[in-house]
Structure 1
Amino acid sequence: MIQDLDETIKELLTQKVPIDNTQIEIRFEMPFDKDWEPKPQTPKINLFLYDIRENHELRSNERFVTRNGAMGIETKDPVRMDFSYMITVWSRDVNDEHRLLGTLLKTLLRYPILPHEVLKGEFELNKDNPLVPPLRAWVTQPERTPNGWEFWTALEGRLKAGLSYMVTVPVQPFTPIDVPLVTEKIITWKKVDQKDWNKNVG
């Protein structure tokens, strides 16, 4: 599932920025090794997944039942998980870095809901399922952005401009179960003598 999210975000950048993958690399590893610092040969966009946690604001215990003949299929609402990325650009020229970072910012702000045409893997399979919420994205929200100094210090690297990008993903850990349905109504008539009738309505 996480690899499908990576591929979805990569496709979003490739289609909507757009990014020529032969000219600019899109990578997902921790952005520090001998090929990255200080001047990579090929410009790179790095999306480092640094945090995964449940979104408690969107927690739900709802259940949905769909008919399947005389039985029904009960499905629980999925768990909403927040996947947080730090997006950075690496190039020989800081002007190129800032230009591309600005383009990424404007592109990501245009898509608070990830469009169907970029979805990959299981997200593509679920795109027409009304019970599966869409993938929502948040860009550089103050309450969702890590402290830059602490973030880069933890990675033992120098301070660098980047975009905090969080995607809220519906994760379905529950298996649907079969449940019986009420398919008919039975009405029973009972003859009541006059004395009992008078007693009940009196």
Structure 2
Amino acid sequence: MIHEVDEALRALLAGSGLEASGVEVVFDAPTREWAARRNAPTVCVFLYHIQEDASRRGSGAGEVHDAEGYVVARRTPPRWFELTYLVTAWASRPQDEHRLLSQVLGTLVSTDALPEDMLTGSLAELGLTVSLDTAGGGVDAPSASDVWSALDGELKPSLGVRVCAPLAAVARPAAPPVTEGLLVRTGGLGPEEEPSPGRRLRYEEVGDPGSQGFAGPRARPAVPARRRRGRQA
């Protein structure tokens, strides 16, 4: 799921004109050594914090159906995680960096969710909204200064971007649908008597059991008339 969010962010930023102007979008850690090797305008989107949103954790299990409508698996609800990115711009002059960062800011704040056509893999399969919060407050994550200190990097203007994305649960295969009725087999009364071959409790010549299965009500033949006991006059 994380790499799918990365690709969606890359597509969103590249579509804003950065790619056409020769600006590279990377997801590297902006350390001193990395910064010394940069020789072209770059936008760095560094993922530094992952935390589950426990308030959105669901329970129960959903059903996965095949093309014919049969239940083939059961899947627990997805779990939601907040991915926090540190977005910075790198160029030869601070003015150019500020211009790049302004372009990135305008692109990210114009949408509250990653576009559906940019979602791939499990995110596209789930069809859920992947929210996007740019430079918002109340983010329960390490501060930007703490991140720069941990990276031993030079403090630069940056944007805090938080993405809330679902992680698809593992689907567990379900048992195949029941197509035969219950088999009843009786044993002999004596020790040497063989058990009966058995009788299957199902309705003969019925291809479709209906919504209530083979145990549902069926049309039954008329009961034959009873013979009266005693002599006839």
Length-normalised TM-score, structure 1: 0.76
Which segment drifts farther, 141-150 or 104-113? 141-150
2:28 partner SS = coil
State the partner residue of 2:96. Answer: 96
2:135 corresponds to which letter in structure 1? T
Letter in 2 for 1:168: C
Q: 2:225 is matched with which residue?
A: none
Residue pair 1:70, 1:183 contacting (<8 A) in 2 also: no
1:92, distance to aligned residue in structure 2 (A): 0.9
The question of 1:148 aligning with 2:144 is answered yes
| Distance change in 2, residues 1:24/1:112 (3 Å) | same
Q: RMSD of aligned C-alpha atoms?
A: 2.7
Structure 1, 160-169 or 28-37: larger mean CA deviation: 28-37
Instruction: State the 1:62 CA deviation.
Output: 4.2
Identity of aligned residues (%): 24
1:77 match: 77
* Offset, 1:157: 1.6
Q: Which residue of 2 aligns with 1:51?
A: 49
Q: Which SS does the other structure have where 1:150 is aligned?
A: helix
Alpha-carbon distance in 2 for matches of 1:21, 1:2 = 25
Identify unmatched segments of 5+ residues in structure 1: 188-202
Partners of 1:169 and 1:21 lie apart in 2 by: 28
Write out aligned runs for 1:36-185 (5 A). Answer: 36-37=35-36, 40-65=38-63, 71-72=70-71, 73-124=73-124, 126=125, 129=126, 132-144=127-139, 146-178=142-174, 183-184=211-212
Q: How far apart in 2 are the matches of 1:88 and 1:70?
A: 49
Q: What is the deviation of 1:80?
A: 0.7
Q: TM-score, normalised by structure 2?
A: 0.67
1:14 matched to which residue of 2? 14
Tell me the residue number matched to 1:23. Answer: 22
Divergent runs of 4+, >6 A: 179-182
CA change 1:74–1:183 in 2 (3 A) is: farther
- Residue 196 of structure 1 is matched in structure 2 by none
Report which stretch shifted further, 136-145 or 161-170: 136-145
User: CA offset at residue 110 of structure 1?
Assistant: 1.5
Letter in structure 1 aligned against 2:147: F
SS in 1 for 2:164: strand
How far is the alpha carbon of 1:156 from its aligned partner? 1.1
Cα offset for 1:174?
2.0
Give the partner amino acid of 1:154: A
Q: CA deviation at 1:134?
A: 2.1
Number of equivalenced pairs = 181
SS of the counterpart of 1:102?
A: helix
Greater Rg, structure 1 or structure 2?
Answer: 2
For 1:119 and 1:152, locate their aligned partners in 2 and report how far apart those are by CA, in whole Å.
30
Q: Which has the higher contact order (CA 8 A, sep 6+)?
A: 1
